Structure 1
Amino acid sequence: MTANAAHTQIHAPVEINQNNIAPEAIVVEEIAVRTNGRPRSEKSMQAILDTTNKMLLMTAVRDISIESVAKKAGVGKTTIYRWWPNKVALVLDAISGPMNSLPAPVSGGKPKDLLEKQLERFARICRGRGGKVIAEVYAESQGNADTQALFFEKFMVQHEEILASILEQGKTSGDFRATLNTALTVDMIYGAFFYQLMSNPNPLDQNFANEIILEALRICK
């Protein structure tokens, strides 16, 4: 599923010099502002992401609001909405890294090795508090088609494409059976992760990760 979500950075307009200040003084001040650390917009964005991550340690996603994040981060709500259309988008960026950053495809080894690496990486993401946050975000997105599409676009699509590419490589090389249904296999594997996150009160652990990797390899043979 895809969602068209655009993040547009809005720059403040340049004010006209109406205070009889010497032009050279304005230039010096402007240069100082530009060179003194990171741009204000970048600092504000990082403060928002850091605040969101801290809140997620102690607060359920359903209890977090744009208003509460803005207050704790010391910014206005409009500043948050400048970069994120809603709470789900903000939380997804907070837990997954900078906006528009994509997980790099795993590399090195045969398709079997790549499959193990990708599933181990996904298992690490789903462990501990991170897994609970993902489950809470997924639950939060239900009932809203746009928000659900955003969840899949920002979190799942990249992982699905990476896994599908590995399966196709294996089918081409002969490591996996040629009759393997790639799309269905991707859904079955990641679906097992989500079922575990949504239905089991215990955190996803290494034993589960090991078992799902073994079962995935059996399916692909």
Structure 2
Amino acid sequence: MKAELIYVTDAYCIWCYGFEKAINQLAKEYAASVTIRVVNGGMIPSNLPLVDMFSRFPDPVALHQHVTVTSGQAFGKRYLREIKGYRTSKRILNSSTPARAMTAFKLLGVKDELGLASAIQRKYYLDGDDLQDVASYRSIASDFNVDFGAFKKEFNTPAAKQGVIEDRRFVEKLGVQGFPAVLLGTQDNRFTPIARGFMPFDGIKANLNTALARHFPDALAEMDGQMCGLDGKGC
């Protein structure tokens, strides 16, 4: 039986974007033993001007540079222009829109939740597109073999809107207050933290191994393959 990892993220969380490489590497290395469920955190639940988002930081550009140095994730030129000119930007942020887009894609059969989350974040942080504009999701629909007309229709359904609400309720249940966050669902229906905020891959891996050994020892056993032992007899 595979264990389930809960990955709580948000399209407008720059540290979640910085976390992309680490969470993708985790998914790859533990594909045989865990599944990953992506939950949208709802960091910005209503319309927020970009200027209000970044005016509380002494230097928004330096903040992004820090994310790049720490995580290795680059930001696109168009996006950085918007950040540099945030005081006069007309852009509005609202986490509900990209969360609803992700729900719509899932309702249309897309199973790769982590891939969807990454694609939406790259649309924003690399391409500099406005995630409040439904047209921004056209290329994502194409990449995941989804008809864009069907996506636009699904995006406006009650089911897509309800998915956003359910994610927020689940985040409240988990008690998560910041993003990114990774939790392991245990067999007694509890959740043990693996990462609170951005962490390098090695740190997440160590935490996950500890939690799996405690709650899912069989999952770690499934990762074992052919190896050579230190005694020279294992090949």
Normalising by structure 2, report the TM-score: 0.25
Bigger strand share? 2
Greater helix share, structure number: 1
TM-score using structure 1 length: 0.27
Mark the structure with the bigger radius of gyration.
Answer: 1
